[in-house]
Structure formats: C-alpha cells, structure tokens
C-alpha cells in the first residue's frame, strides 16, 4: 500500500469528471425534468379547470332542461286552453247557428201559417158569402156585408 502519484492523478480525474457533469450532464437533465414538472403542473391545473367547467356546464344544462320543461308545460297548457276555447267557440257558433236556423225556420213556418191563414180567411170569406147566397138564395151585396165578413174572418 503505497501513497504515490496516483493520489494526484485521482484528484485531477475527479475534478475533471465533476466539471464534465457540471457543464454537460446536470443542467440538461434537470432542465428537462423541471420543464416536465411545469408541464404536469399546468396539465393538472387545466384538468381541474376543465372539471370545474364540466360541473358548471352540467348545472347549466340541468337548469336549461328544467326551464325547457317548464316552458313546454306552459305551451301545452296554453294549447290545451286554446283548444278548449276553440271547441267552446265552435259549440257556441254551432248553437247560435242552430238557433238562428231554428228561428228562421220558425219564422218561415209562421209566415207560411199566416199566409195559409190569410188564404184561408179570404177563401172563407168567399165561401161564407157563397154559402150565405145559397142559403138565402139571394144576392147579398158583398160590399154591404163586407164589414161583417171581415169581422168573421178575423175571428178565425
């Protein structure tokens, strides 16, 4: 076991390797590792933000859905009401039309009746005059008895 020049040689070798590592190995490796660390940190941050965004979006979607449902219900409600209204209106219109038709028919009938009565009256006047002529065998002055016949006819 001799102490000799190897001692100095080893010292120089040591310093040379340290220098090499200091200049060419360490900064490059550590730089890359720090860069990756940064990347991972941003990635995690972004993931967190995305998660938050997703949650927000989900909440918003639920809200919108609820709103849409409410709106739909409202619309259906309105439509139902409108439909009812239309049916009611139609019923009303039908009823009034029916009434109108009935009234018109009745009026016509009445008119017909009146006309028939008129005809009958005039026919009765003639008939009664003719009957009375035959009964009395005389000519009755129609004009003279007009008033009486009129009254008779009106009594019909």
Partner 1 sequence: MAAEQTATGYIQHHLQNLAYGKLPAGYTRADGTVLSESTWTIAHSSQEAADMGFWAVHLDTLGWSIGLGMIFCFLFARAAKKATAGVPTGFQSFVEVIVDFIDKTVKDTFPHRNSMVAPMALTIFVWVFLMNLMDLVPVDWLPMAYAQGVSALTGADPHHVYFKVVPTTDLNATLGMALAVFALMIFFSVKEKGLVGFVKELTLHPFHSGKWYIDIFLIPFNFLLEAVSLIAKPVSLGLRLFGNLYAGEMIFILIAIVFGVGVLGFIGAGLLQMGWAIFHILVITLQAFVFMVLTTVYMAMAHDREDEHAHDH
Q: Considering beta carbons, is residue 19 or 130 the nearer one to partner 1?
A: 19
Smallest distance, partner 1 to C-beta of residue 43, A: 12
How many helices and strands in the chain, by DSSP H and E?
A: 3, 0
- Answer yes or no: are the C-beta atoms of 118 and 86 closer than 8 Å: no
SS3 14: helix
Count of residues in contact with partner 1, rule CB under 8 A: 32
48/88 Cα distance (integer angstroms): 59
Cβ atoms within 10 Å, residue 42: 10
Q: Is 17 an interacting residue with respect to partner 1 (CB under 8 A)?
A: yes
Q: Is 48 in the site for partner 1 (CB under 8 A)?
A: no
Binding mask 93-122 for partner 1 (x = CB under 8 A): ------------------------------
The CB-of-46 to partner 1 minimum distance in angstroms stands at 16
- Position of tokens 């008895």? 145
Give residues in contact with partner 1 (CB under 8 A).
1-15, 17-18, 20-22, 24-30, 32-33, 35-36, 39
């Amino acid at each position: 076991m001799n102490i000799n020049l190897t001692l100095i040689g080893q010292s120089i070798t040591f310093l040379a390797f340290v220098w090499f590592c200091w200049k060419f190995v360490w900064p490059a490796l550590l730089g890359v590792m720090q860069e990756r660390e940064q990347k991972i940190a941003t990635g995690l941050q972004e993931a967190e933000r995305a998660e938050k965004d997703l949650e927000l979006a989900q909440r918003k979607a639920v809200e919108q859905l609820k709103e849409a449902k409410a709106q739909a219900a409202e619309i259906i409600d309105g439509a139902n009401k409108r439909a009812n209204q239309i049916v009611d209106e139609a019923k009303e219109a039908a009823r009034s039309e029916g009434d109108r038709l009935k009234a018109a028919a009745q009026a016509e009938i009445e008119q017909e009746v009146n006309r028939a009565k008129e005809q009958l009256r005039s026919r009765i006047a003639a008939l009664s005059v003719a009957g009375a002529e035959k009964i009395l065998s005389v000519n009755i002055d129609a004009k003279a008895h007009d008033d009486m016949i009129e009254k008779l006819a009106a009594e019909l």
